[in-house]
Amino acid sequence: MFLFSRKNRQLLGLDITTSSIKLIELINSGGHYRVESYAAEPTPANSMNEKTLVDPQAVGEAIRRAVKRSGAAATEVAIAISGDAAITKVIQMPKGLRDADLEAQVEMQADQYIPFPMDEVSYDFEVLGPSEKDNESVDVLLVASRTDNVEQRRAAVAAAGLNARIVDVEAFALENACKLMTHQMPDGGIDRTIAVADFGASSTTFSVLRNLKIIYTRDFAFGGQLLTEEIMRTYGLTMEEAGRAKKEGGLPGNYQAEVLDPFIDDMTQQVSRSLQFYLASGSGREQPEKILICGGCGNVTGVADVIQSRVGISAEKGDPLGQMVLSSRAKAQAVQRDATALLTACGLALRSFD
């Protein structure tokens, strides 16, 4: 069991990706969230193979540096595995079962839905509520992953001297974080269809929410790393120099027309294609009323305006921290600059308050 365990102490949200390790601590003060601490560190070279963590010790040292820089006092974290490493299934169980009986029933039936030997799997479940398929049943969300996927991340956290108390799934963390962007949604997202495009370094997640619940999600290989690599090729820079120039500026005058504009065109095409896939994925699909552009690429100047003009849907840079107070420590770590890339980290940090 690893996913839905109950919490009663402060958790750090820890997002481990191919490009960076982001750590954030949120405090709930009088019904309002405050960013208490934050830090980000580059992911060590060759420590991850796509989304698989292959060098827990190196990642652990980077986590340790992030914790030290952030000034966070908490020692327990919530981490996430990628969606393609998780198996999720909604199953039906008789209603009225005691907790112990329900757990036994799920354990008996889990191997029907999990295509791996059960001794190689970590799994958990949560009751969602009455089933629409059967009045005498409840819907139960079953989530499983190969134990290796879980243990790699736990080992990295342990190497940093921390304890991974929650192992979540990135898609669940993203959905959880979307409640922090309701100030950017028509009617706070209630009875509305909203799209969120979260552009990472090497992959992007396109999600559509209805009533703040994900009804469609698509992951694909595209991200800000492509822009960094193009800057490297065009101007003869190292990866580190290109990444710094992308964030801080100082590139030649032809950068906008020859490098950045073509990349924005590619981003727009990816959003347009994802919308087409979503609309074709089932009957009764509604065109989203707004698109929130998140991830590091959300900071690309003018990208939301270009997407809005070409796709024909209102678009805006997503900002999960927009209604939060920031501590002086968090401000010093430039959390506002990174805000649009913090969906997963914020969604994980919110598990403190479940």
Q: Are residues 74 and 39 in the same domain?
A: yes
Q: Are 90 and 128 contacting, i.e. CB atoms less than 8 angstroms apart? A: yes
Residues 6+ positions from 229 with CB-CB distance below 8 Å:
239, 242
Distances (CA, A) of 112 to 104, 105, 118, 133, 142: 14, 12, 10, 19, 11
Backbone angles phi, psi at 39, to 5 degrees: -160, 155
Q: Are residues 19 and 156 in the same domain?
A: yes
Q: What is the pLDDT of residues 163-216, one digit of tens each?
A: 999 999 999 999 999 999 999 999 999 999 999 999 999 899 999 999 999 999
Which among 27, 9, 64 is positioned nearest to 330, based on CA atoms?
A: 27
**In-domain check, residue 7:** no
State the pLDDT at residue 1: 41
**In-domain check, residue 73:** yes
Pairwise CA distance, residues 350 & 88, whole Å: 21
CA torsion sign for 341, 285, 308, 231 is positive
Point out the domain boundary residue: 132, 147, 162: 147
Give the least confident one: 6-15, 28-37, 235-244. Answer: 6-15
Q: Are residues 160 and 265 in the same domain?
A: no
Q: Are residues 296 and 185 in the same domain?
A: yes
Q: Are residues 270 and 232 in the same domain?
A: yes
**In-domain check, residue 1:** no
Domain tally for the chain?
Answer: 3
Q: Are residues 72 and 112 in the same domain?
A: no
**In-domain check, residue 3:** no
Q: Are residues 189 and 172 in the same domain?
A: no
**In-domain check, residue 5:** no
For the chain, percent of residues with pLDDT exceeding 70? 98
Pairwise CA distance, residues 42 & 54, whole Å: 16
Q: Taking the CB of residue 189, how many other CB atoms lie within 10 A of it?
A: 22
**In-domain check, residue 4:** no
Q: Residue 274 pLDDT > 90, yes or no?
A: yes
Q: Taking the CB of residue 337, how many other CB atoms lie within 10 A of it?
A: 11
Q: Are residues 191 and 311 in the same domain?
A: yes
Local confidence band at 305 (pLDDT 50, 70, 90 cut-offs): very high
**In-domain check, residue 312:** yes
Average pLDDT, rounded, for the chain:
92
pTM, rounded to two decimals: 0.91
Q: Taking the CB of residue 291, how many other CB atoms lie within 10 A of it?
A: 24
Kind of pairing between the strands at 76-81 and 48-49: unpaired
Say which residue the tokens 């997963």 belong to.
344
Q: Tell me the residue type at 311.
A: V
Q: Taking the CB of residue 55, how many other CB atoms lie within 10 A of it?
A: 19
Cα Rg, the chain, nearest whole Å: 21
**In-domain check, residue 268:** yes
Beta bridge partners of 81: 169
What range does the domain containing 158 cover?
A: 12-83+149-177+325-353
Q: Are residues 38 and 96 in the same domain?
A: no
What distance separates the 2 farthest-apart alpha carbons in the chain? 68
Q: What is the pLDDT of residues 78-130, one digit of tens each?
A: 999 988 888 888 999 998 889 899 999 988 888 888 888 888 999 999 999 99
Q: Are residues 71 and 205 in the same domain?
A: no
State the pLDDT at residue 8: 54
State the pLDDT at residue 110: 87
Q: Are residues 226 and 307 in the same domain?
A: yes
Q: What is the CATH number of the domain that holds 333?
A: 3.30.420.40
SS3 of 42, please? strand
Q: Are 299 and 198 contacting, i.e. CB atoms less than 8 angstroms apart? A: no
Outline where DSSP puts E strands in 50-152.
Answer: 52-53, 76-81, 86-94, 121-130, 137-146
Give the least confident one: 2-11, 202-211, 288-297, 318-327. Answer: 2-11
DSSP string, 231-251: HHHHHT--HHHHHHHHHH---
Backbone angles phi, psi at 33, to 5 degrees: -90, 145
Q: What is the CATH number of the domain that holds 104?
A: 3.30.1490.300
State the pLDDT at residue 228: 94
Local confidence band at 3 (pLDDT 50, 70, 90 cut-offs): low
Supply 132's token pair.
């629409």
Beta strands across the sheet bearing 32-42 = 163-169, 76-81, 12-16, 20-29, 32-42, 325-326
Q: Are residues 102 and 219 in the same domain?
A: no
Pairwise CA distance, residues 50 & 203, whole Å: 9
